[in-house]
């Protein structure tokens, strides 16, 4: 069974993460995401909604990430980053419909979409710093462009969770609705966009993404190199182990 359920309603493709209980991002899920994004490139699809339940995605599979670090391999972050570049590059509007948690790689997935609709009880954040690492799939590049440098630094350096109302206030969310209304709101918004001049929307999207200073590719290369180096530190080994052992990490700054 695919870890990304793909369906189409009218001209809207719905990509639903399906890896219970929290949609942790694994290599297999990312591979299915790549396939789903490729399917959504179909010209008959004019808008895309990405979602998951009961949580959007609570971050990377820490056990898998720790195993990769122990083997001196870091395929997950790089592959997720590449998948999100493909998602971001779709020449059609995309909406992330977020319920529950969207943390770490889950929020990075949402950041690669054009819009973020949040359930009122949703929580988002980039808590990687608590593991002795930092966002490695676009978080350091996309978040500052969305909420500004100062707020992005604060969220990345502290790793704190952000409630839906604050996310809306700082521009991290575009809409907040009751949890029961989230799916309908996202599909309604996507259908309205799909009914518009999607060729022009795609051209505008390409123009916006191409003129944000440093290219995304260059920024992601810097991020990926830094993430790989960070993953090899003692603090990262301690942070990942502490998470799996359900204890507080004791970082040493090395």
* 100 closest CA partner among 130, 58, 128: 58
CA 4 to CA 2: how far, in whole Å?
5
* 95 closest CA partner among 124, 77, 118, 123: 118
* 164 closest CA partner among 78, 56, 243, 82: 56
Enter the tokens of residue 102: 């969207």
Beta strands 123-125 and 162-163 are antiparallel
Enter the tokens of residue 25: 């991002």
CA 166 to CA 155: how far, in whole Å?
12
Exactly one of 5, 73, 88, 128 is catalytic; name it: 128
CA 27 to CA 47: how far, in whole Å?
26
Exactly one of 5, 108, 245, 248 is catalytic; name it: 108
CA 73 to CA 32: how far, in whole Å?
20
Q: Find the angle CA(9)-CA(45)-CA(191) to the nearest 5 degrees.
A: 55
Whether 239 contacts 131, CB under 8 Å: yes
User: Does the active-site annotation cover 223?
Assistant: no
Whether 27 contacts 9, CB under 8 Å: no
CA 170 to CA 150: how far, in whole Å?
11
CA 3 to CA 20: how far, in whole Å?
9
User: Does the active-site annotation cover 108?
Assistant: yes
The set of catalytic residues is 108, 128
């Amino acid at each position: 069974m695919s870890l990304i359920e793909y369906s189409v309603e009218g001209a809207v493709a719905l990509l639903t993460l399906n890896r219970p209980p929290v949609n942790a991002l694994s290599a297999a899920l990312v591979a299915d995401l790549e396939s789903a994004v490729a399917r959504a490139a179909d010209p008959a699809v004019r808008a895309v909604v990405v979602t998951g339940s009961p949580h959007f995605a609570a971050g990377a599979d820490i056990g898998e990430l720790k195993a990769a670090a122990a083997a001196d391999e870091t395929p997950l972050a790089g592959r997720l980053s590449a998948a999100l570049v493909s998602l971001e590059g779709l020449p059609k509007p995309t909406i992330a419909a977020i319920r529950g948690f969207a943390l770490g790689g889950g929020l990075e997935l949402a950041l690669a979409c054009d819009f973020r609709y949040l359930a009122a009880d949703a929580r988002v954040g980039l808590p990687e710093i608590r593991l002795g690492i930092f966002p490695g799939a676009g978080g350091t590049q996309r978040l500052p462009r969305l909420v500004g440098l100062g707020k992005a630094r604060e969220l990345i350096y502290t790793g704190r969770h952000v409630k839906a109302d604050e996310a809306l206030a700082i521009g991290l969310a575009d809409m907040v609705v009751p949890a029961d209304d989230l799916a309908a709101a996202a599909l309604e918004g996507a259908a309205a966009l799909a009914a518009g001049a999607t060729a022009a929307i795609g051209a505008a999207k390409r123009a916006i993404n191409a003129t944000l200073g440093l290219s995304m590719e260059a920024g992601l290369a810097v991020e990926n190199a830094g993430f790989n180096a960070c993953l090899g530190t003692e603090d990262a080994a301690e942070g990942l182990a502490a998470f799996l052992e359900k204890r507080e990490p004791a970082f040493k700054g090395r």
